[in-house]
């Protein structure tokens, strides 16, 4: 079962994600990134974090340790932002903490240009994402970080943030374990991920026993109000049944068609050109709101 700790000091909020997690110190002397039960994503996101994160660890992928964090909003009483204080007030009790990785840096497209990922490792990560339907590990939002393990260089890839995975649990009655999803723009697609080798290695390891042990780590309170299930254990069994059936049906959803880095760049350029067509001149000079820097050339603002 996940270790339980108590938050003793609130360090700061992280505004990089929509859920506004917070960095806290705990009574075990650890530092954790806490995702709160009162966030807009709701408790399903925390369920996904536990199931996918613990499955990743069981399959040998690098993922920070998870803990259950008892949180008293009073320790964050000096937080200046009202919306964050309201989030804390609605999250008293047990929340989810992920071990804080100091010095980790995001795996961005710029970093990807200079970093090499082994096709076998890339394939294992893509396979896990396809199994768990993690639609939020793209070239635009990788939810991967680079962090040196025990000071070893070069840094290694670590998986983070699986709250958007398990999309089937938002509509159980329409979930097909064999459904294929579009993973062509996966963050690691440019590295030629060997998903067939990953499937041969990992699919047999996703047993009902393993899944049941992982589902048991989800607190009852996060499953108590799951529509269509009389008890938390019934909900757990649904996760076990669906993921086990999906692992068995991997031939139907295994992603193998990944565009090259050059093809992705060409697609992005074409998309940008189409976006600019038909715009009035004044709107063409508005900087991109998604974070790409604007560069002025010949009096016109261009997006990199």
Asked which of 75, 99, 123 is the last residue of a domain, the reply is 99
- Considering the domain architecture, whether residues 90 and 125 belong to the same structural domain is answered as no
- Considering the domain architecture, whether residues 130 and 198 belong to the same structural domain is answered as yes
Asked which of 82, 99, 116 is the last residue of a domain, the reply is 99
pLDDT at residue number 129: 98
> For the sheet containing 105-106, what is the strand order?
105-106, 144-147, 156-159
| Percentage helix, strand, coil for the chain under 3-state DSSP, each rounded to 5 | 40, 20, 40
Dihedral sign, Cα of residue 165, residue 23, residue 221, residue 213: positive
- Considering the domain architecture, whether residues 123 and 82 belong to the same structural domain is answered as no
- Considering the domain architecture, whether residues 31 and 111 belong to the same structural domain is answered as no
- Considering the domain architecture, whether residues 240 and 278 belong to the same structural domain is answered as no
pLDDT at residue number 43: 95
- Considering the domain architecture, whether residues 142 and 36 belong to the same structural domain is answered as no
- Considering the domain architecture, whether residues 233 and 142 belong to the same structural domain is answered as yes
**214/66 Cα distance (integer angstroms):** 12
Task: Supply the range of the domain harboring residue 84.
Answer: 3-99
pTM (two decimals): 0.86
- Considering the domain architecture, whether residues 240 and 124 belong to the same structural domain is answered as yes
- Considering the domain architecture, whether residues 58 and 117 belong to the same structural domain is answered as no
Number of domains in the chain: 3
- Considering the domain architecture, whether residues 11 and 140 belong to the same structural domain is answered as no
DSSP state string for 193-215: --HHHHHHHHGGG--HHHHHHHH
Q: Residue 80, class by beta-carbon neighbours within 10 Å (0-12 exposed, 13-18 middle, 19+ buried)?
A: exposed
pLDDT at residue number 1: 85
- Considering the domain architecture, whether residues 183 and 217 belong to the same structural domain is answered as yes
Asked which of 99, 123, 149 is the last residue of a domain, the reply is 99
pLDDT at residue number 41: 87
- Considering the domain architecture, whether residues 131 and 176 belong to the same structural domain is answered as yes
pLDDT at residue number 283: 53
Q: Give, to the nearest 10 degrees, the angle between helix 232-248 and helix 119-131.
A: 130
Question: Which of 106, 33, 124 is closest to 71 using CA atoms?
Answer: 33
Residue corresponding to tokens 């705990």? 26
Q: Is residue 124 a contact partner of residue 159, using CB atoms and an 8 Å limit?
A: no
Please, what are the averages of pLDDT over each run of 10 residues along the chain (304 residues)? Answer: 96 84 97 96 95 98 98 95 94 98 92 91 98 94 87 84 95 90 93 96 98 98 91 97 98 90 77 73 51 40 35
């Amino acid at each position: 079962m996940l270790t339980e700790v108590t938050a003793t000091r609130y360090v700061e909020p992280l505004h990089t994600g929509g859920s506004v997690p917070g960095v806290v110190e705990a009574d075990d002397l650890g530092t954790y990134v806490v995702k709160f039960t009162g966030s807009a994503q709701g408790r399903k996101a925390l369920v996904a974090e536990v199931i996918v994160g613990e499955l990743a660890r069981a399959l040998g992928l690098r993922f920070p340790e998870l803990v259950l964090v008892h949180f008293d909003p009073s320790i964050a009483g000096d937080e200046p932002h009202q919306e964050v204080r309201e989030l804390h007030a609605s999250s008293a009790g047990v929340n989810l903490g992920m071990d804080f990785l100091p010095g980790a840096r995001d795996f961005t497209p710029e970093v990807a240009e200079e970093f090499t990922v082994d096709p076998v490792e890339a394939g294992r990560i893509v396979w896990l994402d396809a199994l768990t339907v993690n639609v939020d590990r793209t070239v635009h939002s990788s939810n991967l970080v680079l962090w040196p393990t025990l000071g070893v260089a070069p840094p290694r890839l670590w998986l983070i943030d699986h709250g958007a995975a398990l999309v089937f649990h938002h509509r159980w009655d329409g979930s097909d374990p064999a459904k294929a999803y579009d993973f062509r723009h996966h963050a690691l697609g440019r590295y030629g991920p060997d998903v067939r080798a990953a499937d041969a290695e990992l699919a047999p390891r996703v047993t009902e026993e393993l899944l049941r042990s992982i589902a048991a780590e989800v607190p009852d309170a996060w499953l108590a109000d799951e529509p269509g299930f009389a008890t938390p254990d019934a909900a757990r069994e649904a996760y076990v049944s669906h993921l086990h059936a999906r692992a068995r049906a991997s031939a139907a959803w295994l992603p193998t068609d990944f565009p090259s880095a050059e093809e992705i760049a060409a697609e992005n350029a074409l998309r940008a050109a189409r976006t600019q067509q038909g715009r009035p001149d004044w709107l063409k000079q508005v900087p991109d709101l998604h974070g790409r820097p604007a560069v002025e050339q010949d009096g016109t603002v261009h997006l990199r």
